[in-house]
Structure 1
Amino acid sequence: MQGKVTWVDELTFVGEAGSGNSVVMEGGRKNNGIRPMEMILLGVGGCASYDVVSILQKSRQEVISCHCELNGERPDETPSPFTRIEMKFVVRGRKVKETQVKRAVELSADKYCSASIMLKNAGVEIVHSYRIEEV
């Protein structure tokens, strides 16, 4: 995996992944890009969401939509790494079985999501929950 981050001006940067996709990052002064720590939070949510949806699809659950609500806690001092991340998956579908959602979330947390496992191994407390909404 490769990437490149290029300074644009002031505290604005463009990150380009090896895939060719890019994102604007900014330190928060102008608010014209995502902050790097926000990218980490969204990255872990995206990684886990990919797992959950994929596992539910493979178990033939009729999922209409899924989103992951994230809350990251950081201390006020510098450096301020995440100390705790709460992830709440909201799965909407038809007759989606709770046992399958629980299993998908657990498999993502314990086996598949490289991002959350990496953060957990670095000492970040990661808490998972879910809610199912019948359509």
Structure 2
Amino acid sequence: MKATVSWSKELQFIGESSSGHQILMDGDGAKAAASPMEYVLMAAGGCSSVDVISILSKARQQVSDCKVNLEAQRADSTPRVFTHIHLEFVVSGTDLSEKHVARAVQLSMDKYCSVSLMLGKACEISHSYRIEAA
């Protein structure tokens, strides 16, 4: 996997993945785009969501929506690394099995989500889930 990050202007940068997708990052208080740390946090939510939806689909669960609310605390001094991240999965659907949702979230957090597993080596990560009817 490769990527490039190019300076655009002020403290704004354009990241481009090897697959050709681009994102704008803003290091100046996230005025024009998300900050790099916000993207890292969102990457944890995106990576784990892919796992949860994939696992639930294979279990033939009727999922209509999946959202992850993420909250992170950062160190007070430089470097302002994450010290704790909490992921709350909100899964909606029809006749969802709590057993399947719990298993999907646990498998993502313990085995499949590369981003969360990597971040977990540097900070504490916790998770929870909620099931809502569609």
Whether TM-score is above 0.5 comes out as yes
* Residue matched to 1:91: 91
**Amino acid across the alignment from 2:112:** Y
TM value normalised by structure 2: 0.97
Q: Secondary structure at the match of 1:83?
A: strand
* Residue matched to 1:125: 124
Q: Distance in 1 between matches of 2:42 and 2:114?
A: 13
| Large movers: runs of 4+ above 2 Å | none
- Post-superposition shift, 1:121? 1.8
Alignment of 1:7-22 (within 5 A): 7-22=7-22
State the Cα RMSD in Å: 0.9
**8 Å CA contact 2:74, 2:82 repeated in 1:** yes
**Amino acid across the alignment from 1:127:** S
Deviations, residues 58-91 of structure 1 (Å, cap 9, x unaligned): 0000000000000011022110110100000000
Aligned residues: 134
- Post-superposition shift, 1:28? 2.6
* Residue matched to 1:35: 35
**Amino acid across the alignment from 1:17:** S
**8 Å CA contact 2:29, 2:35 repeated in 1:** no
Deviations, residues 69-124 of structure 1 (Å, cap 9, x unaligned): 000110221101101000000000000000000000000011000111111122x1
Gaps of 5+ in 2: none
Q: Distance in 1 between matches of 2:20 and 2:65?
A: 27
**Amino acid across the alignment from 2:90:** V
- Post-superposition shift, 1:33? 1.3
Q: Secondary structure at the match of 2:120?
A: helix
**Amino acid across the alignment from 2:5:** V
Q: Distance in 1 between matches of 2:76 and 2:121?
A: 22
When residues 30 and 46 of structure 1 are mapped into structure 2, their CA distance, relative to the original with a 3 A threshold, is: closer
* Residue matched to 1:69: 69
**Amino acid across the alignment from 1:130:** Y
Q: Distance in 2 between matches of 1:76 and 1:57?
A: 41
**Amino acid across the alignment from 1:134:** A
When residues 113 and 36 of structure 1 are mapped into structure 2, their CA distance, relative to the original with a 3 A threshold, is: same
